[in-house]
């Protein structure tokens, strides 16, 4: 094979091989531990999420109410959250609802400033799944 054919092969074949490669998998390791910030849409609320090995704590910055969730990773980018308790008052109906269900969260994108998740009640394919953004740093006020 002459040099011209080698270059032609490299120029033609290499991009085709690269295009056929799967996309780089999100680095979900960045979101397994740490402090994160959530800002619900159409609201002026802020929640601080502290994630450890087996526990996720969610603090409402305004009311200081705190939810405690048992955390279990299903795979690198999907986790389950099971209600443990809430620091403030909780009705019996609300407590029964939380105890009956598991929140399932799937990380779909991780960037330098945030990650995007999809979540559902008992399943990612639940009736009203939620998709939103969690930030690595607090919003500048």
- Rounded-to-integer distance, Cα 106 and Cα 28, Å: 10
d(CA 42, CA 40): 7
Here the tokens at position 24 are: 């780089």
Query: Encoding tokens for residue 8?
Result: 């032609």
Cα separation of 30 and 23, whole Å? 18
Helix, strand or coil for residue 8?
Answer: helix
What is d(CA 75, CA 86) in angstroms, rounded to the nearest whole number? 27
**pTM for the whole structure:** 0.77
pLDDT in tens, the chain (141 residues): 544 443 333 333 333 333 443 444 578 999 999 999 999 888 889 999 999 999 999 999 999 999 999 999 999 999 999 999 999 899 999 999 999 999 999 999 999 999 999 999 988 877 778 899 999 999 887
Give percent helix, percent strand, percent coil of the chain, each to the nearest 5. Answer: 20, 40, 40
- Domain ranges, ordered by start, for the chain: 25-135
> How many other C-beta atoms lie within 10 A of the C-beta of residue 69?
22
CA dihedral 29, 30, 31, 35 (to 10 degrees): 140
């Amino acid at each position: 094979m002459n040099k011209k054919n080698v270059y032609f092969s490299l120029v033609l074949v290499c991009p085709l091989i690269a295009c056929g490669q799967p996309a780089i998998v999100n680095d979900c390791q960045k979101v397994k531990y740490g402090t994160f910030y959530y800002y619900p849409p159409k609201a002026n609320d802020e929640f601080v999420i502290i994630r450890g090995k087996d526990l996720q704590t969610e603090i409402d910055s305004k009311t200081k109410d705190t939810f405690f969730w048992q955390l279990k990773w299903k795979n690198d980018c999907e986790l389950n959250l099971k209600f443990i308790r809430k620091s403030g008052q909780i009705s019996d109906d609300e407590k029964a609802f939380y105890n009956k269900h598991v929140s399932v969260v799937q990380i779909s994108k991780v960037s330098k400033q945030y990650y995007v998740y999809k979540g559902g009640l008992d399943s990612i394919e639940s009736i009203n799944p939620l998709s939103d953004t969690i930030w690595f740093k607090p919003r500048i006020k």
